Chains A and B, each alone.
Chain A
Amino acid sequence: SQLAEENPWALSVHEGESVTVNCSYKTSITALQWYRQKSGEGPAQLILIRSNEREKRNGRLRATLDTSSQSSSLSITATRCEDTAVYFCATDADTGYQNFYFGKGTSLTVIP
């Protein structure tokens, strides 16, 4: 079963606009991570947010975490064409960090 799930499945925005991807997860976690995967490449980590944090920023990226609702969001401001990618959230379950679960991803297209 999927322990982390992003929504929406896909979305598109025009360059310069802001966009938010949401993630829901099903287990208690020690941390949640957001990754970006461009076509033909391996995923690259964007932000790691720990369970005792509520918000984390990295340049144009902002991640939030709400452990009570088991949800997270990743916002990108001033989008660029190079932000076109699949965005995954992934969790370390607190029952065993060796098992790391990715969602199915949100496909983001930034239109020039």
Chain B
Amino acid sequence: AQTIHQWPVAEIKAVGSPLSLGCTIKGKSSPNLYWYWQATGGTLQQLFYSITVGQVESVVQLNLSASRPKDDQFILSTEKLLLSHSGFYLCAWRQGEGSDYTFGSGTRLLVI
């Protein structure tokens, strides 16, 4: 069975500090991977997606970057956090077009 694991569960970071969030998928080869961001009480905004190792497409510009160093790993990062980066970050995978998404349990980030 496929599992998706996100880390850390929660972070409190200072404005201007760096950030790295991780996501690992187990039990599925070559998954399509996604990062989503959700403001408190808001909708889910797709940030990045990756179809294959080393390739990442940006959907919105939020002063964040993403990388896919391994087939089963997706990293979200920034060198300088902004207050507006606070929120809930979700990693997801799907098989392909028309299939459902499976989301991780998310990372809650508070920037102060």
Tier of interface size on chain B: 20 to 34
Instruction: Known contacts A99-B46, A103-B43; decide if A42 and B97 are in contact (CB<8 Å).
Output: no
> In the complex, which range does the number of interface residues on chain A fall in?
20 to 34
**What residues of chain A lie closer than 8 Å to B27, measured between beta carbons?**
none
Task: Judge if A33 is at the interface, Cβ distance under 8 Å.
Answer: yes
Asked if A50 meets B103 with Cβ closer than 8 Å, knowing A88-B43, A102-B44, the reply is no
Which residue of chain B has the shortest Cβ distance to A51 in the bound complex? B98
In chain A, residues 93-107, which have Cβ atoms closer than 8 Å to a Cβ of chain B?
97-105
Residues on A lying within 8 angstroms of B by beta carbon are 2, 30-31, 33, 35, 40-45, 48, 50, 88, 90, 92, 97-105
Interface positions of B (Cβ within 8 A of A):
32, 34, 42-44, 46, 49, 51, 57, 59, 90, 92, 96-106, 108
Of the A-B pairs whose beta carbons lie under 8 Å apart in the complex, a sample of 30, sorted by A's number, is A35-B101, A40-B106, A41-B105, A41-B106, A42-B92, A42-B103, A42-B105, A43-B90, A43-B103, A44-B103, A45-B100, A45-B101, A45-B102, A48-B98, A88-B43, A90-B44, A92-B97, A97-B97, A98-B51, A98-B57, A99-B46, A99-B49, A99-B59, A100-B34, A100-B101, A101-B46, A102-B43, A103-B43, A104-B42, A104-B43
